[in-house]
Structure 1
Amino acid sequence: MDDHAAMDPHITGTTRLYGLVGDPLTAAKSPQLLNQLFTEQRVDAVCVPFWVKAQNLHAFVSGARATGNLSGMLVTMPHKQRMLEFVDELDSTARQVGALNVVRCEADGRWVGAIFDGAGCVLGMQWEGNHPANKSVLLVGSGGAGSAIAFAVASAGASRLTISDIDEHRAADLAAAVSAETGCDVRSGPPDPQGFQVVINATPLGMKAGDAMPVDPERLTPGAIVVDIINAPEPTPLRRAAQARGCRTQDGGPMHRGQAVYALKFLGFDYRPEGRSIPDPQ
């Protein structure tokens, strides 16, 4: 096969560029999703991964700002909070959460940031029959994704929400903000899952072999719903242990597809996975 045959024939000098920015990106599925969408909708665009380490984010943004055909970016760990420094305007979701996971690059050069991890997580849970409404929820992790999920779960009608993080002050600050914004019974506390109907892992624990468990699976209540937002091909140790405990589990796939619905709408595309219903985000 020659070089010309190996190239994607739809990429031309007018092709718009979208990117996925993060570190690591080995398990990333967004480029496949977007490129399939672009092909189906006959859009002259392509999505590529940008592997950018934390210390190189400023240099990356400087170069990206000079790229005239860059139309948008999806942003993942560890850049969801620091990328706030580099956008010109924040959507209401990003202002509320203090993080972003998508950037729309406007024709006039402005960058607008938003975050849909929370709405996507709740939508994915709804699709799987695991809606958090009227349930007690333990959320472990209060970073960018965790913060978004906290606001969304509380807004979706959780009966009570406990937020746990290795940084206890950050968890307490987030709990206070979510409580004030939503009126939900929200507090911070230890990562003890006993008695909770829903447990959500919004930490990176489980992405690497040998990671500690985000919660003690022996403390899980049998029959509880355990959502691990890590989007991996194989069940994480938490999900395997939870299943052995008699819990219902959900991986990161539904959240990934759910947040993609809202992120792509923000970027100007219509994406409806598997014909599933798409309610407006909270």
Structure 2
Amino acid sequence: MHPHITGKTRLYGLVGDPLTAAKSPQLLNQLFVEQRIDAVCVPFWVKAEDLSAFVAGARALRNLSGLLVTMPHKQRMLDFVDELDPTASRVGALNVIRCNEDGRWVGAIFDGVGCVLGMQWEGNHPAGKSVLLVGAGGAGRAIAFAVAAAGTRTLTISDVDEQRAGELAESVAAETGCITHSGPPDPHGFEVVINATPLGMNAYDAMPVNPERLAPGTIVVDIINAPEPTQLRRAAHARGCRTQDGGPMHEGQAVHALRFLGFDYRPAGKSAPDDGVLFAPARNASP
């Protein structure tokens, strides 16, 4: 895809485990070609136990300009950056690092606002709706703050770690003013259900919620970006629900992340993001 590599080529990477379904390198390399940018994005398959060694090596690369960070490194990578953008300091995780020329690494996260932007593009905006969010890890934390800031009427957070879910709910309520609680992963009675867990990445995974408890018309968003519909999406579709895969979120967060890295990117035919949702609390939000 990239016509040539020069001695001045800037390097960007995607670091995570696994990376078999990752689409970020294709997106960035296509952007570099279209905008005639002398840069390339490559995948870095790094196990959790090897993250420290990877960072030590990456710090020595003077032509490394940025990193995209995915599971399972979004929270642990906080320990390896020099500065946190307000998005990352509030959420407690990151998914993009800008490597400045002075050697300082600045971390930010756009999973949440990317998810909301993708939902907006698909006609599934969470404003004014009751939302069940399953998963309180790195992506789940970001999505919790973002959907609350976007004007969600009520938000319930569920996680296998009940304490983690409860602490996140308290933080979101205090930060945004959105009515937020923790609770079980029961989708009954919710207008929007968001799966922010890894469940569904493998064919044999259990489903994050019981699809028999989904009401027809419920919006079901599964952030897993897979070529085929996950079991949850198939079951929800069979129940008469509106479903959305991880593609729109992936594109939405790419818009924000690439802006953070200094690039102008917007998918054809898509509206520009409202940057106010990055930090604005939902106290005065309206549907």
TM bucket by the smaller chain?
Answer: over 0.9
In structure 2, the residue matched to 1:200 is 194
Give the partner amino acid of 2:28.
L
Structure 2 Cα separation of the partners of residues 209 and 220 of structure 1: 21
In structure 1, the residue matched to 2:220 is 226
In structure 2, the residue matched to 1:149 is 143
| 2:204 matches 1:210 | yes
Secondary structure in 2 matching 1:104: strand
Structure 2 Cα separation of the partners of residues 8 and 197 of structure 1: 44
TM alignment of 1:28-107, pairs within 5 A: 28-107=22-101
Instruction: List per-residue Cα deviations over 1:86-139 (Å, max 9, x = no partner).
Output: 000000000000000000000000000000000000000000000000000000
Mean Cα deviation higher: 58-67 or 8-17: 8-17
Give the partner amino acid of 2:240.
G
Secondary structure in 1 matching 2:268: helix
Q: In the alignment, which of 156, 160, 172 is matched to residue 154 of structure 2?
A: 160
Secondary structure in 1 matching 2:221: strand
Displacement after TM superposition at 1:280 (Å): 2.2
TM alignment of 1:169-188, pairs within 5 A: 169-188=163-182
In structure 2, the residue matched to 1:137 is 131
Secondary structure in 2 matching 1:270: coil
Displacement after TM superposition at 1:8 (Å): 4.7
| 2:242 matches 1:248 | yes
Displacement after TM superposition at 1:212 (Å): 0.6
In structure 2, the residue matched to 1:114 is 108
CA RMSD of aligned residues (A): 0.8
Runs of 4+ in 1 over 4 A off after TM superposition: none
Structure 2 Cα separation of the partners of residues 128 and 227 of structure 1: 11
Structure 2 Cα separation of the partners of residues 76 and 232 of structure 1: 15
Q: In the alignment, which of 97, 107, 121 is matched to residue 127 of structure 1?
A: 121
Structure 2 Cα separation of the partners of residues 247 and 36 of structure 1: 34
Structure 2 Cα separation of the partners of residues 278 and 77 of structure 1: 27
Give the partner amino acid of 1:224.
T
Give the partner amino acid of 2:256.
Y
Structure 2 Cα separation of the partners of residues 258 and 241 of structure 1: 25
Higher relative contact order, chain-length normalized (CA < 8 Å, sep 6+): 2
Fraction of identical pairs, as percent: 81
Q: In the alignment, which of 172, 183, 187 is matched to residue 189 of structure 1?
A: 183
Instruction: Give TM-score, length-normalised by structure 2.
Output: 0.95
Instruction: List per-residue Cα deviations over 1:2-22 (Å, max 9, x = no partner).
Output: xxxxx9542111100000000
Structure 2 Cα separation of the partners of residues 41 and 170 of structure 1: 43
In structure 2, the residue matched to 1:4 is none
In structure 1, the residue matched to 2:252 is 258
Instruction: List per-residue Cα deviations over 1:17-53 (Å, max 9, x = no partner).
Output: 0000000000000000000000000000000000000
Structure 1, unaligned runs of 5 or more: 1-6
Structure 1 Cα separation of the partners of residues 215 and 94 of structure 2: 33
